[in-house]
Structure 1
Amino acid sequence: MRKIIHILALLFVTSNFVFGQSTRIITPINQINTIDESVYLHCSTTTLLCGETLLFKVYALNTKQKTLRATSKIGYVELVDNRNSSVLKQKIVIKNGTGQGDFFISTSLKTGNYKLIAYTNWTLNKGEKGIYKTDIFIINPFERVPLEESTLKQPSNNVLSEKRIDNIKSDNSLLSIKTDKSKYAVREKINLTIQSNVKNEIKGNFSISVRKTDSLPEHKTATSIDFLNMTAPQNNSNSEKSRFLPEMRGEIISGKISSKDNSKSLKDKIVSLSIPGKYFGIKMAKTDENGKFNFILDEHPGSSNAIIQVVENDRKEYTVALEDAIKPDLSMLSNITSLQLNPKNKIDIENRSIANQIENSYFQKKKDSLAEISKTSPFFHPLEKEYILDDYTRFPTLKETIIEVLDNVYYTKNENGYSIRLRTSSSQEDSFGEALVMVNGLLLQDNTELFDYDTQNIYKVSLVNHAYVYGSKIYSGVINFVTKKNDYETKTTGDFIKTVIIDRPQTRKKYFTPNYTENDFARIPDFRYQLLWEPEINLAGQKTSLFFFASDVKGQFEISLEGFTEKGEAVSLKEFITVE
């Protein structure tokens, strides 16, 4: 009978808890090792001038099933120079097996041969085989090098050094791409249709590029068909080989704490990461026996500014720091195929350079737009009660505001300073510990500094007035102060708390293309070499139609489509149009 009473009491206590940060089920390493993954990259071009933008689409595939059902939710794309040094890097969010991004080629890059690589943490377990590679040629027309000493030489015998349009082979068995005409006038509307060649509808994910061709040498890249043919399934059945864990639920940020006098235990210490702001994020993690911890971040908020801190009573006895992100061994990359220029390329380089400068001078008129960012709700929503302070009589101090405005909130003071607490509806209030106090989502362990803050800068206060479990800690409730400008900076200092800049994924974009059916761009010069880049084409029917407009640039333009169907079939198509 006594046991039953104890069980009922326990159920009553836990029923008063609200759980915040979810406890994730860890997949055993032997199960993860059976999953294979490979990365393919479709890029807009392989030859660029400084001032242009390299556009790319990442495809992460389950190599065994040959489908876009990848394990990883984060991918990485880097531009590597001929000394195997990374010069540009982007972290990419992968959704449903695909992601997208771009690199602006600045004048800091020298003329030469580079390598574009793509990978996930999980594919790095395969070594060089887990890294997708394609050669890139960059031309810096602003380098002050005498012509006779430059790289303007006769082209090499390398078969990749010249574009061979007549050798292009496309797989037209599943899809075809058609335009309403083969020749267009400048700024004319171009209608393009992606048509299924089979009776049953084809579902899949594809990317399409429409770009001008010229005489500049260009590296040949692997098509999606080539990629599947040359990629053999390979897993890591031996757990010892799996040095890098996959980012299965989001990007992993790792760090470590250390004891100042080496006498403190490093195990099971709580560390928090706050990304403060209007739309904030907060994570908590426990350390292992070596003091290491991992955070799994959500896609939103995407801010790079964060604060990490040890969340313990004896926190001042510890030092906290983030560890370097996982990096591939670039020394194992194969040599970059060398391309060279010849004097005949000079005119095309000059024309493209002038076009770039004109386009970049109208950047403000032709901005790419960011994909709509989700307005994330606080983790405690919808449990909170909000107090918008302008709806009440304003008081000059926080003490008065707590007493006169905030129900069930009170403060205490001792030799260590002030503490903000909650009166909860539960009789177990004291056993739940202190409230989780935040300012714009920034965890504030020392509440004293808030009592010196100008309350006129506080917009509202959000309260959750009952026990709340967040991570592995139990709080008596949640109090979040929201400032008017979301610009609060903590005064707390020490080795246990650090302000850090974390590398966040590139935000998805909707790339600019003018619409000449409207008059907004009629008097603006248009020297686009890239007429269209659409990285997210989802087919779900017999045909998909889209349109874009020619620019003021005349010549031949290549239409390139790459991607994969839901059944794991690769599609690679190329067509050409002319602007006269």
Structure 2
Amino acid sequence: MNKKVIIITLLLLASAINAFSLSHQGTIPDVERIFLNTDREGYVAGELIWFKAYTLDKNNIPNDLSKVLYIELIDSVGNSVIQSKHKIDNGFGSGNIYVPSSIQTGRYLMVCYTSLMRNFDHKIYFQKSISIINSHVKVPNVNIANDSKNPVNAPLSSFSSTNNLVDLQVRKKSFPSRALVKVSLQNKSKDIMSNISISVFQADSLNLIENLKLENVQSYSSDQKMVFLPELEGHISYFNSTDNQGITAPVYLSMLSTSPEIYSTTLKEDGSAMFITQKVYGNHKMIIQAIDNSIKFEQISPFYGSDSSFRQPTLKVPPSFKNTIERRSIYTQVQNVYSKDSIFLQENAEIKDAFYGVPDHVYWLDNYTRFPTMEEVLREYVEQVQVRKKGDIYSLHVWDNSHQHFFESNPIVLFNGIPITSMNEVMKIDPLKIQSIEIITSQYIMSPQVWWAGIVSLKSYPDYQNETLIAESQSVIEFNGLSPELKFYSPDYSTNNNKRIPDFRNLLYWEPTVILEAQKAKEISFYTSDIKGKYIIKIEGWTSNGQFIQAEETFEVK
């Protein structure tokens, strides 16, 4: 990308965020709110919670404002036990949360919000109660007691469930094991209903939570201060320096990776720094460093965290549920063993290039005679890099292809994605661990404050990809990116290839994105499992004019 375009884009983004902050102070409940539905309401340890989220305006119309959804699982005393971040695109997001074997049996609150909503009272966050059973932990032998005085509140505008807009039909009411089930969905409205979800699950006794209750959103004063910026382009990561003395300096955040990714910003006088980290999935080690300053940093959590006001009534399970709990727990463990690779298969991840794009030159060192020092490798093979030494101090100079001479200042040198500021440290790297060297022979501008006289990127062999050189001025952090979305596992029994593998699925089907065009029908299909019993087909979603739709149908597996 042209360096002028990069600068203009960054300035426009900053201007847009500032303008939004000024124009929407105190009006977040009218601008954005969350609705979320799950595949069911009851789970056992080892299962996945599948969900569909909607960001809505005051008329319950999907908006395209925030790009990141935050979800926390809060236990009965208000502790946040699971935290995750998920991508939102065009007002919709979907994903899954794994229920770990370490979790306690109980009633949990799924609390959902965006960064924009953090500027207001947590009462506007979407909240949904679910039950989780862990068969490895003893549960109390008392009766179920759902507390009607503590309903599950979803802070949205009032609306009523509309069931007559979709005709949900299953062709038969009874099926054998591993049989094909076809379900017809008929849209009877004049609206296009986008991103409606459908789930098919066993109607066992573990769905202990009452149906969702919805209340009006509260009003807030217009003088509310904007502290958390809306995430218009992607996740915003916040940091504070631990020893800053009113210094303003360029700062960059880099990921330990063979596909280098670097983000740049400016350290403020108050010691704060923020980065827009787009499309970073999963957990990574990252390095944050203030250029030319030995300042240490700590990451600020983007989550709301524990709060005793989120307390839930205790989940109480009677002795009669013992067999149901044990059976479902065993089925889940068996299913995870035999179908682990299919159940936890990630959607096709986007293959990311290095932040600098396609390099101007690439040197694969196996194509050359190996030298024992990095200085020899650079001098003998890499024509676009000039090695200079003054006394005991090394410097590197990349060829400036635009002006046909070598840059006078050092380039940015990356080792597995991490910047190395000392050229003497570069010379200490073992070249026998390096697989390739990539060169950018032009000035690279990260921001108006940060630019580099070319780029030299050293990439090691896979066995050494976790190695790097960490300077005292660099802070290492564990960075939790967006949660990767798994692909829902649904076997195909049209052939007999899987007949010897047990099928103990109690969730037969989940699809978060079912689009029904106006007055048209759509058919979905799936196979039953080896578990006999009653099953529920449930659809939930929104019309394009803000009407909530919910419908159910049942069938049996005999």
Q: Decide whether aligned partners of structure 1 residues 221 and 415 sit closer, same or farther in structure 2, where only a CA change above 3 A counts.
A: farther
For residue 45 of structure 1, what is the amino acid of its counterpart? Answer: R
CA contact (8 A) 1:17 1:466 kept: no
Q: Which amino acid aligns with 1:248?
A: L
User: Where does residue 165 of structure 1 map in the other structure?
Assistant: none
Counterpart CA distance in 1 for 2:301 and 2:323 is 45
- Contact 2:69–2:85, Cα closer than 8 Å, also in 1: yes
Match of 1:127 among 103, 121, 128: 121
Partner of 2:208: 218
Q: Deviations over 1:311-358 (max 9, x none)?
A: 11xx23x3333233342562333x424443333323322332332232
Select which of 232, 243, 247 maps to 1:248. 232
1:450 aligns with 2:426: yes
Unmatched segments (≥5 aa) in structure 1: 1-14, 145-149, 162-168
Find the aligned partners of 2:3 and 2:63 in 1 and give their Cα distance: 39
Task: Please give the TM-score of this superposition, normalised by the length of structure 2.
Answer: 0.88
Are the structure 2 counterparts of residues 65 and 411 from structure 1 closer, same or farther at C-alpha, using a change threshold of 3 Å? farther
Q: How does 1:133-148 map to 2 (within 5 A)?
A: 133-144=127-138
2:491 paired residue number:
514
Q: Is 1:41 aligned to residue 36 of structure 2?
A: yes
CA shift for structure 1 position 535: 2.2
- SS of residue matched to 1:370: coil
Deviation at 1:444, TM superposition (A): 1.4
Instruction: Name the counterpart of 1:202.
Output: 192
Structure 2 CA distance, aligned partners of 1:576 and 1:341?
A: 25
Aligned to 2:277: 297
Give the superposition deviation at 1:73: 1.0
3-state SS of paired residue (1:293): strand
- The one of 40, 53, 57 aligned to 2:52: 57
Aligned with residue 176 of structure 1, among 143, 146, 167: 167
Distance in 2 between residues matched to 1:71 and 1:44, nearest whole Å: 25
Instruction: Mark the CA change 1:284 to 1:257 in structure 2 (over 3 Å): closer, same or farther.
Output: same
Note closer, same or farther for the CA distance 1:420–1:543 as it changes in structure 2 (3 Å cut).
farther
> Which residue of 1 is the match for residue 297 of structure 2?
320
- Alignment partner for residue 87 of structure 1, among 68, 81, 86? 81
> Which of these residues, 317, 322, 333, is aligned with residue 341 of structure 1?
317
Per-residue displacement from partner, 1:183-209 (whole Å, max 9, x unpaired)? 1111101112222113x4624112111
For 2:281 and 2:208, the matched residues in 1 are separated by 39
Following TM superposition, by how much is the alpha carbon of 1:16 offset from its aligned partner in structure 2, in angstroms?
A: 8.7
Match of 2:510 among 508, 527, 533: 533
Q: 1:236 to 1:92 in 2, by over 3 A?
A: farther
Structure 1 position 410 matched with structure 2 position 390: no
- C-alpha displacement of 1:523: 0.7
Query: How many angstroms does 1:431 deviate by?
Result: 8.1
**Distance in structure 1 (CA, Å) of the matches to 2:240 and 2:405:** 33
2:343 touches 2:487 (CA, 8 Å); kept in 1? Answer: no
SS state at 1:557 partner:
strand
Residue of structure 2 equivalent to 1:10: none
SS at match of 1:346: helix
Q: Which residue identity does 2:176 align to in structure 1?
A: A
2:333 to 357, 365, 369: 357
Contact between 1:274 and 1:308, CA under 8 Å: does it hold in 2?
Answer: yes
Change (3 A) 1:75 1:432: farther
SS at match of 1:353: helix
Residues 107, 423 of structure 1: alpha-carbon distance in 2 compared, 3 angstrom cutoff: closer
Query: Quick one: distance in 2 between partners of 1:293 and 1:415?
Result: 37
**CA shift in 2, pair 1:406/1:19, >3 Å:** farther
Give percent identity, aligned residues only: 26
What is the CA–CA distance in structure 1 between the aligned matches of 2:387 and 2:283, rounded to whole Å? 32
Q: Give the count of matched residue pairs.
A: 537
| Separation of aligned partners in 2, 1:400 and 1:217 | 68
Residue type at the aligned position of 2:22: N
Aligned with 1:92: secondary structure?
strand
The CA distance in 2 between the partners of 1:16 and 1:132, in whole Å, is 42
Q: Matches of 1:527 and 1:160 in 2, distance apart? A: 37
The structure whose Rg is larger is 1
CA offsets per residue over residues 188-243 of structure 1, 9 Å max, x none? 01112222113x46241121111111234521232xxx65xx34486774252x33
SS at match of 2:335: helix
Q: 1:174 to 1:17 in 2, by over 3 A?
A: closer
Q: What residue ranges of structure 2 are gaps of 5+ in the alignment?
A: 151-159
Q: Which of 455, 462, 476 is the equivalent residue of 1:478?
A: 455
Structure 2 Cα separation of the partners of residues 160 and 562 of structure 1? 26
Q: Deviations over 1:248-277 (max 9, x none)?
A: 2111111123547x4xx412x111111121
Q: CA RMSD in A?
A: 2.9
Alpha-carbon distance in 1 for matches of 2:251, 2:419: 11
Distance 1:446 1:301, change over 3 A: farther
- For 1:217 and 1:543, the matched residues in 2 are separated by 30
Alpha carbons of structure 1 residues 122 and 136: separation in structure 2 relative to 1, 3 Å:
same
Partners of 1:411 and 1:21 in 2: how far apart?
A: 34
Q: Which residue of 2 aligns with 1:266?
A: 247
- TM-score if structure 1 supplies the norm length? 0.85
User: Judging changes above 3 Å, is the alpha-carbon distance between structure 1 residues 537 and 160 closer, same or farther for their aligned structure 2 residues?
Assistant: farther
Hey, what does 2:179 align to over in structure 1? Answer: 188
Mapped contact 2:256–2:284 kept (Cα < 8 A): no
Kindly state the Cα deviation for residue 21 of structure 1 after the two structures are TM-superposed: 10
Q: Is the 8 A contact 1:74 1:94 kept in 2?
A: yes
Partner of 1:285: 265
SS of the aligned residue for 2:22 comes to: helix
